[in-house]
C-alpha cells in the first residue's frame, strides 16, 4: 500500500444511487430517517439526491435544512452544465446551489463514446463543460466532488482523453476526482492498474465509485484503496441500479478490521448491522440472511464439527468477532448437528446439559429422525426448544385436542371460497367447542384455535402471526407430496419460528400453529409471567 494518509472518507449514495434499484421507493420522511441513521453511523458524506430531477428530492433538501447532522455533511448531486449553456443560467447547476448543501457532486463524461453518442458534443466542448461547471460551483460551495462517469471504459478506449477530463476538473478546483466504474464491468486487477497509473498523473485526491455488475464492486473498491485512493463511494446493503453498488456494509469492516484504515470509530462500527437492517425495513425489502458481516447467517454454524470448534475457539470458523459489526454468533440445529450443537442451543435457552447426558443423545437421535421426515429446525427454534423440554420431561401440554374440522367451500363461480374451522379441545377437564371463519382454511383454523384457548390463556391475544411459508418437499407424488410449514410468530418482546410436516397441509399447519402458541405459554412461564392472566 502506498504511504498516504490512513484516513478513508466514506461517501454514502444510498439516497440517490440506492433508490435507483428496482423495487425501492423511499418517501421524503424515509430519506430523512435514513440520513439521520447514516449520520449516527458516522458516515462522512451523505448524498441526498438530484434536486434538479424530481420534486421529492427538492422536498428532501428542504426538510434536511432543518436537521442538525453531527458527523455527516450533506451533498447534492447533478451533472455538468448543458451544452451551449452558461453555468449561471443552467437549471441543474442552479438547483444544486439552491439545495444549500455544503458539498456538491457533479458528473461528467470520460468516455468518448458517451461524448459523441449521448450528449453529442465535440470532445473539446465536453472538456469545457467539465471545467466551467466545477469552477463556477467551487466559487460558491465549500466542497466540490467530480464524478468521472464511465472512467474505466473511457480509459480503456483512450487513456489520453480520459486523463484530459480529469485535468479539466482538477484545474477548475475540484476537491476530489472520483473514478467511476459506471457499467460495473472492470475486474480488480484491471482497475488497480488504471488507478495506479492515474495516481501518477494527477495531484488532486482520488475517489472510487464502483457498480456490481461483475460482482466485483467491493473487491474493486478495496483494490483502489490499496493503491492509494482515500475517498470511497458506496450504498448500504449494496442497493443500486441493475446489480447494485459497492456495499458499504462489507467495505467498512474490511477497511477498518482487515486493512487497518481509519474510517469509523469502534462504537460506530457496532451500529453497522442495525443500520443495514433499518435501511432494509424502510425500503420494505426482506433482509438478506446471507449478506457478509451483517446478515443473520454471517456467523451461523450448522455442521457439528464446526460448532465443536467455535465453542472452543470462535476464530476457527469466524474471520472476525461478530460483535465488532453489531452481529452475533448463531448455532443452527439440523440433521448435520452433533452434540456440540445441542449443548450450545441448550445453554442459549438456559438449560444445563452434560455432553454425555442421555437427554443430549435422545434429542440428537430424535432431531435427525425428524429432519429425515422433512422437519427443519433452522428457522424453527421455538419448536426445537420445545423438543428439548420434551426430552427433559418438562414440556407441559396446554390442551388436549378432541378433534377439528375445516370446511373450504366455493358457493358461486367468480367469488372467493368460504372457509370455516370447527375445533373441540380440552383444557383441565373443561371441554371447549368453537368455530371461526377465515380468509382461507389455515387462517380459519388459527382463529378457531385461538378463540378456544384465549379464554384459558389470555396472554395468547398478544401473539401475532408474522409469516407463513409452505414448501413442497422433494418427491414424485405430485399433489400428494409431503409439505413443510414454517410459521413465524411474535409478541411485543420476541419473535420465534415453529414447524410442521405432513402430506396434509392443514395438519402441517396445525402442528406449527400449536407449537407457536405453546411456545408463547412456555416462554411466559419461563420468565415468571402467568399465562392465565
pLDDT digits (tens, 9 = 90+) for 217-250: 999 999 999 999 999 999 999 999 999 999 999 9
Is the residue at 388 inside a domain?
A: no
Cell numbers given for 244: 447494485
- The answer to whether the beta carbons of residues 413 and 425 sit under 8 Å apart is no
In a domain, 128, yes or no: yes
pTM above the 0.75 mark?
Answer: no
Phi, psi of 27 (to 5 degrees): -75, 170
Radius of gyration over every alpha carbon of the chain, rounded to an integer in angstroms:
29
118 within a domain of the structure (yes/no): yes
Residue 92 lies in a domain: yes
For 426-455, write each residue's pLDDT tens digit: 998 999 999 999 988 999 999 999 999 999
* Closest C-alpha among 71, 74, 70 to residue 31: 74
How does DSSP assign 412-444, residue by residue?
Answer: STTSPPEEEEEEEEEETTEEEEEEEEESSHHHH
Question: What three-state secondary structure class fits 455?
Answer: coil
In a domain, 240, yes or no: yes
pLDDT of residue 2: 43
Domain-embedded: residue 353: no
Task: Kindly give the interhelix angle for 358-373 and 381-391, rounded to the nearest 10 degrees.
Answer: 140
Checking if the pLDDT of 3 tops 50, the result is: no
Paired sense of beta strands 9-12 and 418-427, if any: unpaired
Q: Do both 275 and 403 map to the same domain?
A: no
Q: What is the CATH number of the domain that holds 97?
A: 3.20.20.70
Q: Which of 3, 69, 86 is nearest to 32 (CA)?
A: 69
- The rounded distance, in Å, linking the Cα atoms of 454 and 532 is 9
The residues that bridge with 76 in the sheet, in sequence order, are: 49, 104
- Alpha-carbon torsion (20, 26, 32, 33), positive or negative: negative
Strand partners, 496: 489
Domain termination residue (choose one: 229, 250, 282): 282
Is the pLDDT at 476 greater than 60? The verdict is no
Q: In terms of domains, do 403 and 276 share one? A: no
d(CA 308, CA 320): 18
In a domain, 482, yes or no: no
**Rounded Cα–Cα distance for residues 166 and 155 (Å):** 11
- Same structural domain, 87 and 212: yes
Instruction: State which of 166-175, 454-463, 485-494 shows the largest mean pLDDT.
Output: 166-175
**Cβ-proximal residues to 345 (8 Å cutoff; 6+ apart), any chain:** 331, 333, 381, 384, 385, 388
When divided into structural domains, the chain yields a total of 2
Mean pLDDT of the chain: 90
**CATH code (residue 413):** 3.30.160
Look up the domain containing 423 and give its range: 399-444
Give the pLDDT score at 482: 83
Distance CA 252, CA 41 (A): 11
277/408 same-domain check: no
What DSSP assignment string belongs to 39-79? HHHT-SEEEEE-TTT-HHHHHHHHHHTT---SS-EEEEEEE
| Distance of alpha carbon 72 from alpha carbon 376, whole angstroms | 44
pLDDT of residue 356: 59
pLDDT level of residue 262 (50, 70, 90 thresholds) = very high
In sequence order, the β-bridge partners of residue 420 are 407, 437
Q: 489-532 pLDDT, tens per residue?
A: 988 888 888 999 999 999 999 999 999 999 999 888 877 766 56
Establish if 479 belongs to a structural domain. no
Q: Do 67 and 212 belong together in one domain?
A: yes
Helix (H) or strand (E) holding 407: strand 400-409
Domain final position from 266, 282, 298 = 282
Percent of the chain past pLDDT 70, that is, above it, reads 92
- Residues 117-128 have pLDDT tens digits of 999 999 999 999
| Distance, first Cα to last Cα, the chain | 65
Question: Phi then psi for 416, rounded to 5 degrees?
Answer: -65, 145
One domain, residues 416 and 271:
no
- Identify whether the C-beta of residue 242 lies closer than 8 Å to the C-beta of residue 213: yes
Distance CA 260, CA 1 (A): 11
**Mind listing the pLDDT tens digit for each residue in 307-320?**
778 878 888 888 99
**Spatial separation of the C-alpha atoms in residues 295 and 100, rounded to whole Å:** 36
Q: Which of 444, 479, 499 is the last residue of a domain?
A: 444
Amino acid at each position: 500500500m502506498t504511504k498516504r494518509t490512513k484516513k478513508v472518507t466514506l461517501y454514502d449514495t444510498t439516497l440517490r444511487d440506492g433508490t435507483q434499484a428496482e423495487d425501492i421507493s423511499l418517501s421524503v420522511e424515509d430519506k430523512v430517517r435514513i440520513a439521520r441513521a447514516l449520520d449516527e453511523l458516522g458516515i462522512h458524506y451523505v448524498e441526498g439526491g438530484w434536486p434538479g430531477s424530481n420534486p421529492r428530492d427538492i422536498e428532501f433538501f428542504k426538510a434536511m435544512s432543518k436537521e442538525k447532522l453531527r458527523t455527516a455533511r450533506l451533498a447534492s448531486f447533478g451533472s455538468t452544465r448543458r451544452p451551449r449553456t452558461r453555468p449561471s443560467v443552467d437549471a441543474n447547476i442552479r438547483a444544486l446551489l439552491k439545495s444549500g448543501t455544503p458539498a456538491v457532486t457533479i458528473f461528467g463524461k470520460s468516455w468518448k463514446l458517451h461524448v459523441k453518442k449521448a450528449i453529442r458534443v465535440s470532445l473539446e466542448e465536453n472538456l469545457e463543460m467539465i471545467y466551467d461547471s466545477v469552477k463556477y460551483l467551487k466559487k460558491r460551495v465549500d466542497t466540490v466532488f467530480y464524478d468521472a462517469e464511465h472512467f474505466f471504459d473511457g480509459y480503456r478506449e483512450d487513456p489520453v482523453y480520459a486523463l484530459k477530463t480529469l485535468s479539466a476538473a482538477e484545474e477548475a478546483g475540484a476537491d476530489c476526482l472520483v473514478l467511476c466504474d459506471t457499467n460495473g464491468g472492470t475486474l480488480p486487477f484491471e482497475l488497480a492498474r488504471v488507478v495506479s497509473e492515474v495516481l501518477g498523473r494527477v495531484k488532486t485526491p482520488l475517489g472510487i465509485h464502483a457498480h456490481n455488475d461483475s460482482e466485483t464492486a467491493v473487491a474493486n473498491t478495496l483494490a483502489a484503496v490499496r493503491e492509494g485512493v482515500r475517498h470511497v463511494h458506496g450504498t448500504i446493503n449494496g442497493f443500486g441500479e441493475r446489480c447494485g453498488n459497492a456495499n458499504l456494509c462489507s467495505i467498512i469492516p474490511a477497511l477498518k478490521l482487515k486493512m487497518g484504515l481509519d474510517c469509523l470509530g469502534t462504537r460506530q462500527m457496532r451500529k453497522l448491522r442495525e443500520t443495514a437492517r433499518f435501511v432494509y425495513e424502510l425500503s420494505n425489502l426482506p433482509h438478506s440472511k446471507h449478506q457478509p458481516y451483517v446478515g443473520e447467517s454471517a456467523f451461523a454454524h450448522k455442521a457439528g464439527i464446526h460448532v465443536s470448534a467455535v465453542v472452543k475457539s470462535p476464530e476457527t470458523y469466524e474471520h472476525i468477532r461478530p460483535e465488532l459489526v453489531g452481529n452475533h454468533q448463531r448455532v443452527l440445529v439440523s440433521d448435520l448437528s452433533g452434540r456440540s450443537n445441542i449443548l450450545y442451543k441448550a445453554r442459549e435457552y438456559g438449560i444445563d446439559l452434560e455432553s454425555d447426558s442421555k437427554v443430549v443423545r435422545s434429542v440428537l437421535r430424535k432431531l435427525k429422525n425428524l429432519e429425515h421426515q422433512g422437519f427443519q429446525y433452522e428457522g424453527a427454534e421455538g419448536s426445537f426448544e420445545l423438543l428439548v423440554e420434551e426430552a427433559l420431561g418438562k414440556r407441559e401440554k396446554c390442551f388436549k385436542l378432541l378433534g377439528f374440522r375445516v370446511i373450504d367451500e366455493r358457493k358461486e363461480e367468480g367469488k372467493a371460497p368460504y372457509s370455516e374451522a370447527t375445533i373441540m379441545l380440552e383444557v383441565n377437564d373443561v371441554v371447549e367447542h368453537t368455530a371461526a371463519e377465515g380468509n382461507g382454511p389455515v387462517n380459519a383454523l388459527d382463529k378457531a384455535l385461538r378463540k378456544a384457548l384465549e379464554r384459558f390463556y389470555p396472554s395468547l391475544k398478544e401473539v401475532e402471526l408474522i409469516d407463513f411459508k409452505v414448501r413442497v418437499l422433494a418427491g414424485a407424488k405430485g399433489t400428494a407430496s409431503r409439505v413443510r410449514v414454517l410459521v413465524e410468530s411474535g409478541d411485543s418482546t420476541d419473535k420465534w419460528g415453529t414447524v410442521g410436516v405432513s402430506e396434509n397441509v392443514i395438519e402441517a399447519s396445525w402442528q406449527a400453529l400449536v407449537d407457536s402458541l405453546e411456545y408463547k405459554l412456555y416462554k411466559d412461564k419461563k420468565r415468571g409471567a402467568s399465562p392465565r392472566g
